[in-house]
């Protein structure tokens, strides 16, 4: 198989950098345990860990498909206080909203 065929998604490392400085957007520490999903009072459809991986891998189209979920979050931080890897989940969502506000809604 040669690279680039079969519709493989191009990884763009710069997206994570634009969403927030790497130290603040710290989703790479995630270990995929799923506690965040289990404790979410909103039962948000997209798993936070999946959303953040889209960001880290620069899969912008997949991120933008989740705008509904991203803005449904209450920022209650239930997930964040329960995260065993210390990921700033709610803060990451805020960073994402900030990015979308600027790039999509022109705010």
Partner 1 sequence: MNDQIVTGSDPGAGADAGGRRIGVYVCQCGGNISDYVSVDDVVAAVKDEPGVVVARTAMFTCSDATQQEIINDIQDQGLDGIVVASCSPKLHTFTFREMSKRAGLNPYEYTQVNIREQCSWTHTDDKAGATGKAARLVRAGIARTSLTEPLEPIVVETVPNVVVIGGGIAGMRAALGLAEIGLAVFLVEKEAELGGWAAGFAEMYPHGRDGRDLVTRLEERIRRHPGITVFTDAEVVGKSGSFGKYEVGIQVGREQAEAPAPKTQPPGTPKPEISRPGMPQLGTPEPGAITVKAGSIVVATGFDSYEPQEGEFGYGLDGVLTLPEFKRLVDSSDGPLAYGGRPVRTIVYIYCVGSRQAEGNEYCSRYCCTAAIHSSLQVATRDAAPVSRYHLYRDIRSYGRYEPLYNESREKGDLYLRFPDEEPPVVAQASSGDGGGATTAKDGDAGHGYRLTVTTRDLLTDGAELLIPADLVVLVTGMVPRENDDLVKVLKLPVGNDGFFNEIHPKLRPVETVVDGVFICGACQGPKNSTEAVASGLAAVTQSASILKRGYAELDPLIAVVDPDTCEWCGLCLEACPYEAPRRVEQDQEAAGGADQEGVDHRGADADHRGADTDHRKMVAVIDRVACKGCGGCVPVCPRNAIDLLGYTDAQMRAMIDGLLQEPTPCRM
As a whole number of angstroms, the distance between CA 89 and CA 86 comes to 9
Q: What distance lies between CA 71 and its chain's CA centroid?
A: 12
Residues 33 to 92 in contact with partner 1, rule: CB under 8 A: 49-50, 53-54, 56-59, 85-86
Options 2-10, 35-43, 64-72, 89-97: segment touching partner 1 (CB under 8 A): 2-10
Q: Does residue 1 belong to the site contacting partner 1 (CB under 8 A)?
A: yes
Q: Token digits for 80?
A: 């964040």
Name which of 19, 21, 25, 24 is nearest 99 in CA terms.
19
Chain residues that interact with partner 1, rule: CB under 8 A: 1-4, 6-18, 22, 26, 28-32, 49-50, 53-54, 56-59, 85-86
């Amino acid at each position: 198989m040669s690279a680039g065929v079969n519709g493989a998604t191009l990884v763009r490392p710069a997206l994570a950098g634009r969403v927030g400085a790497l130290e603040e957007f710290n989703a790479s520490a995630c270990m995929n345990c799923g506690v965040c999903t289990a404790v979410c009072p909103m039962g948000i459809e997209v798993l936070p860990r999946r959303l953040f991986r889209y960001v880290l891998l620069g899969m912008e189209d997949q991120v933008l498909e989740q705008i509904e979920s991203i803005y449904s979050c209450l920022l209650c931080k239930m997930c964040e206080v329960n995260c065993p890897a210390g990921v700033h989940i709610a803060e990451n969502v805020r960073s994402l909203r900030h990015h979308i506000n600027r790039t999509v809604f022109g705010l």
